[in-house]
Amino acid sequence: MAFLPNIIFGLILVGGIGFFVRNINKLKRNIKLGQSVKIDGATGQRWSNMARIALGQSKMVTRPISGILHVIVYVGFIIINIEVLEIILDGLLGTHRIFSSIGPLYGVLIGTFEVLAVLVFLAVVVFWMRRNVVRLKRFLSPEMKGWPKQDGNLILYFEIVLMALFIIMNATDAPFQAMNSGNVVSQFVAPWFDGLPLAAIERTAWWLHIIGILFFLNYLYYSKHLHILLAFPNTFYGRLTPNGQLDNLESVTNEVKLMMDPDADPYAMPDGSTQDPEKFGASDVFDLNRIQLLNAYTCTECGRCTSECPANQTGKKLSPRKIMMDTRDRLQEVGQNIDANKGNYVPDGKQLLWDYISPEELWACTSCNACVEACPISINPLSIILEMRRFLVMEQSAAPTELNTMMTNIENNGAPWPYNQMDRLNWKND
């Protein structure tokens, strides 16, 4: 049974990746519950946005401390994962450090990984302190109680453990230490294990490391850490038009044309007339578009948006981060509903509006775009807020009274105040 470890390894690997693929498929299915969107604009611009914002982290560094620490963890994490490739090959083939045959370069590589591991370790410790000791305000908002807070910390513990396992694995690997090349950090850790069963510890660390990585991969779906994958498509699909430009609802354009056209037959049904009348705006996740749903899954809950939000800063209930978290939570709920009902959504009497997001939050927004500007990965909370306002106003006639007055004025006088349009040039003679 010499191949038993290889077989077990293979099974764990296939299981871990299989489960991950299953989750990704669910994620895709859930996003597709949203309305489809036309993706226009230059594709080249989209690729370059993705390269700049997701890969290059250009918006992270606007806050230097967290930005630089984040770059360390990000770069460290990606590069150290080259090591995982070796682990997988070793595991499947039963080899030991298969890449070491490439010669001195191997030492350079592993040495780099070790240094990065230490840097990641330190950065993560600082991150943990910011959340739990310094207690930065943006990590303490009401929406960060419970799971979101735990999630933030769990990930940090996780990375600490993974980095520690990597160093221990190297430190207890007698042949590797004997090579004395690349063990820039682990050589100092090795003496701690003198007199202990090195081989057994090395194997344990090795197995835990790869199992840990697979676990992490599958943890993503339940965590704000989905952003490490979704930041890429999300920045790709980010808006190319000016922030101030809101879309013009096409369904409304058609109706307005009919209303303004004196020859139109008011009783004529538009094409496809058997369909239900179109719903204006959004009250649930189904009414949002797919990019907005992708936004929700991508949100890292960093709170940069909320900390820049003028409404939130002045004590209003609105928090753009909460808008994104609520959207994701509701979408997950709908997804689980579909899983539980053999692929069909069975109405549960809940909606994103009211059950998650209250009108009070929506009406506090000044549409200032500070949240959009602040988001490091091109998420647009304002677009969801506007979509829900549209539902409140056009489907429910549920605008605050003063806004109804304002709109009546525009309708009757062509101005938000009760002045006569015929007086519009009176300022000339004042």
Report the interface residues with ligand SF4, using CB under 6 A: 299-305, 308-311, 318, 320-321, 324, 365-371, 374-375, 377, 379, 381-382, 385
Residue count (the chain):
430
Nearer of residues 11 and 252 to another protein, judged by Cβ: 252
Tell me the closest approach of the beta carbon of residue 320 to another protein, in angstroms. 13
Tell me the closest approach of the beta carbon of residue 42 to another protein, in angstroms. 17
- Report if residue 255 touches another protein, rule: CB under 8 A: yes
Site string for another protein, 215-254 (x = CB under 8 A): --------------------------xxxxxx-xx--xx-
- Rounded to 5 degrees, φ, ψ at 41 are 95, 170
53 binds, among another protein, ligand SF4, none (CB under 5 to 8 A by kind): none
Closest CA to 368 of 357, 380, 382, 358: 382
Closest CA to 217 of 70, 384, 377, 24: 24
Cβ atoms 120, 80 nearer than 8 A: yes
Site string for another protein, 365-404 (x = CB under 8 A): xxxxxx-xx------------x-xxxxxxx----xx-xx-
Tell me the closest approach of the beta carbon of residue 235 to ligand SF4, in angstroms. 11
154 binds, among ligand SF4, another protein, none (CB under 5 to 8 A by kind): none
Indicate if the alpha-carbon torsion angle 373, 376, 380, 382 is positive or negative.
negative
302 binds, among ligand SF4, another protein, none (CB under 5 to 8 A by kind): ligand SF4
Cβ atoms 293, 30 nearer than 8 A: yes
Helix 4-31 and helix 198-219, axial crossing angle in degrees, nearest 10: 20
Cα separations (Å) of 132 from 105, 150, 224, 348, 408? 40, 11, 18, 37, 51
- Report if residue 321 touches another protein, rule: CB under 8 A: no
- Report if residue 39 touches another protein, rule: CB under 8 A: no
Tell me the closest approach of the beta carbon of residue 248 to ligand SF4, in angstroms. 19
390 DSSP β-pair partners = none
Tell me the closest approach of the beta carbon of residue 338 to another protein, in angstroms. 29
Residues 6+ apart with CB under 8 A from 55: 232
- Report if residue 421 touches another protein, rule: CB under 8 A: yes
Neighbouring C-beta atoms of residue 299, cutoff 10 Å: 25
Measured distance CA(364)–CA(320) in Å, rounded: 11
179 binds, among ligand SF4, another protein, none (CB under 5 to 8 A by kind): none
Cα angle 51, 320, 284 (rounded to 5 degrees) comes to: 100
Residue numbers of the site for another protein (CB under 8 A)? 241-246, 248-249, 252-253, 255-257, 259-260, 280-281, 308, 310-311, 313-318, 360, 363-370, 372-373, 386, 388-394, 399-400, 402-403, 405-407, 410-411, 414-417, 419, 421-430
